[in-house]
Amino acid sequence: MLPAVKAAVLQVMPDVPIRNVRTMEEVISRRVAQRKLNMLLLGLFGVLGLVISAVGIYGVMAYTVSQRTREIGVRMALGATRSTVVSMVMRQAGWLLVIGLVVGGIGAWRLSRFAEKFLFKLDTSDPRAFAAALITLTLAALIASAIPARRAASVDPMEALRAE
């Protein structure tokens, strides 16, 4: 189609040079390429932050469980079931999660105005975005806490009492 358009323009205006002929799709894609790259990088950093936070939660919970190995062994020796131990560890993780989400949510709400220049015609205080972030972080924290909780439930009471 481009040769036909060039021929038609040259017939009407023969002394006007035709250069940089592009489709509208190409023009728009070049205009938004930098923004797309920025959003891709921000998304990747967000995923990296989520992974780092999940690893951190796992580390804290694993350390807490290792510090309480003797207590968990005593509880299991006295008749605590695996589900009781898992719920105890997950309850503690839940409290830490709630505290972290409240503090982080307030901080994110306050700092959201600085992200305004990165968002194109979007509300920086959109409750759906905050809800999605809270749900995602909650799921990541619960999954990261479940591994040490299962490990705590499989502690042999005799080994735990001998440890230290």
Reported as a single tens digit per residue, the pLDDT across 10-66 is: 888 888 777 777 788 888 888 888 888 988 998 899 899 888 988 988 888 888 888
Report the domain count for the chain. Answer: 2
Q: Are residues 71 and 147 in the same domain?
A: yes
pTM metric for this prediction: 0.67
What's residue 31's pLDDT?
Answer: 85
Domain limits for position 3: 1-44
Question: Which two three-digit tokens encode residue 123?
Answer: 């509300």
Q: Are residues 124 and 73 in the same domain?
A: yes
pLDDT-above-70 percentage for the chain = 96
Residue 14 · residue 90 · CB < 8 Å: no
Q: Are residues 108 and 144 in the same domain?
A: yes
> d(Cα 48, Cα 157) in Å, to the nearest integer?
38
Question: Which two three-digit tokens encode residue 147?
Answer: 């591994």
Q: Are residues 6 and 63 in the same domain?
A: no
The pLDDT tens digits for 102-137 are 998 898 888 887 777 767 677 777 788 888 888 988
